[in-house]
Amino acid sequence: MISFDLRIDRRGFSFDVSGQFDEGVTAVFGPSGAGKTTLLNCLAGSMRPDSGSIEIDGENVYSSADGIWVRPEKRRIGTVYQDGALFPHLSVRRNIDFGWKLVPAEQRRLDPLEIVELLGLSDLLERMPSELSGGERQRVAIARALAISPRLFLLDEPLASLDVARKGSILNYLKRVHDEFKIPMVYVSHSVTEVVSIASHAMLIRDGSVLGFDRPSALLLTAALDGSSVERFENILHGVVGESTDQLTTIEIDRISISTRHQNKNPGEKVVVSLGANQIILAPSEPNQLSARNVLKGRVKEIWSSNGKVFAEVDVGPEIIVELTESALNELGISVRSDVFLIFKSSSVDVFDA
């Protein structure tokens, strides 16, 4: 459990944030300049608040009232930033080993070899950072942060510079890291897609204040943080290639199969699938005689509306978010727990290597 109560007031910037994060993945979400990175820097110890307190696993690492300040290197907190920030003169292996060697033997809980295997880095150990792709650098940065056996894992916009395929791949690795090692994560982003994909809880910050703490999907209620509509939402799903014809390829995702344009991939290959929420039609009854190749039956779990847009989360096996208008929702008579059908073309589905 991580609890904090922090205040900063300097150079026209006011920051007054308090809350608690549990052992799950907590997203900190908000527009640029909201104070997301400030919160992470305070938790990590790279920024000292004007007043307040921070407690991690029952230990006070900062208390202005009691004069407590634990140095960053003593907090044992793993951090990953947007650019990965690897040591350019060290190989992948030596980057990962660097943090591990700094940790006293009695505090080492994670084996670097186990981390390397989990993150798929075994074939990259002798490469230099300059020889890596953006996604590979971020995986190495994650591995190096895990090597210190952190009791808290902080990620600050770690996918901002990556394309959809690499984002989907890294999100999948992060989920596996959390499931395997049970390390609490705080994930900073301004992307609704990333927040909904990875987090179990989310904190919304704007102008240095907390506006809410709720389920990640509920953040869609804030579709216009800056006065404009919400970003285009992409459902990011993980699956494996099934059968192919000359025109179509089947992708198996959880308990469903979807049709995509023909993919030059072998059956059983792992892939990342991207499907825009605004590319899906929602119907209250099963349609007939459609050109669309995908018709999936599901049940509405939640509905949120903002600025004339509606986002419905539908359980079809995996959970998929659909965008529609309020007028369409009312005309269709769809509500929470309604049985519905999702309809989308094979051309609406983008497929990337995992």
CA–CA dist 119, 80 (Å, integer): 15
Q: How many CB atoms lie within 10 A of CB 131?
A: 12
In whole angstroms, what is the distance from residue 311 CA to residue 147 CA? 39
Q: For residue 328, what are the CA distances in angstroms to 12, 67, 198, 276, 282?
A: 45, 58, 29, 18, 9
The model's pTM is: 0.69
In the Cβ-directed half-sphere of 138, how many Cα atoms lie within 13 Å?
23
22: CB partners within 8 A, 6+ apart: 1, 184, 201
Q: In what order do the strands lie in the sheet with 294-306?
A: 281-283, 339-344, 294-306, 309-315, 319-325
| The amino acid at 289 | Q
Q: Do 174 and 185 contact (CB within 8 A), yes or no? A: yes
What pLDDT is stored for residue 40 in this prediction?
92
Task: Give the phi and the psi of residue 19 in degrees, each rounded to 5.
Answer: 165, -170
List, as own/partner pairs, every contact residues 52-59 make where C-beta atoms lie below 8 angstroms and the sequence separation is at least 24, other chains included: 52/4, 52/5, 52/6, 52/7, 52/18, 53/3, 53/4, 53/5, 53/6, 54/2, 54/3, 54/4, 54/6, 55/1, 55/2, 55/3, 55/4, 56/2, 56/151, 56/152, 57/1, 57/2, 57/151, 58/1
**Model pLDDT, residue 50:** 92
Per-residue confidence in pLDDT tens, the chain, 354 aa: 889 999 998 877 788 999 888 888 998 887 778 888 899 999 999 999 999 999 998 899 999 999 999 998 888 898 888 776 788 899 999 998 887 888 888 778 778 888 888 788 888 999 998 898 878 888 888 888 888 888 899 998 888 777 766 777 778 778 888 888 888 899 988 777 777 778 888 888 888 888 888 777 655 545 333 443 445 677 878 889 999 988 999 999 988 999 999 998 889 998 878 888 889 999 999 888 788 889 999 999 988 776 667 888 899 998 898 988 888 888 889 999 999 999 999 999 988 766
CATH number for 234-353 (one of 3.40.50.450, 2.40.50.100, 3.50.50.60, 1.20.1440.230): it is 2.40.50.100
Q: How confident is the model at residue 229, as a pLDDT?
A: 42
Record: fold of 2-222: Rossmann fold (3.40.50)
Length of the chain: 354
Cα–Cα distance for residue pair 239/165, rounded to 1 Å: 13
Helix (H/G/I), strand (E/B), else coil: 168: helix
**Cβ neighbours, 10 Å, residue 130:** 8
User: What dihedral angle (degrees, nearest 10) is formed by the CA atoms of 109, 115, 118, 123?
Assistant: -160
Q: Phi and psi (nearest 5°) for 290? A: -110, 150
What pLDDT sits at residue 84? 66
Task: Note the pLDDT of residue 172.
Answer: 77
- Structural domain boundaries of the chain? 2-222, 234-353
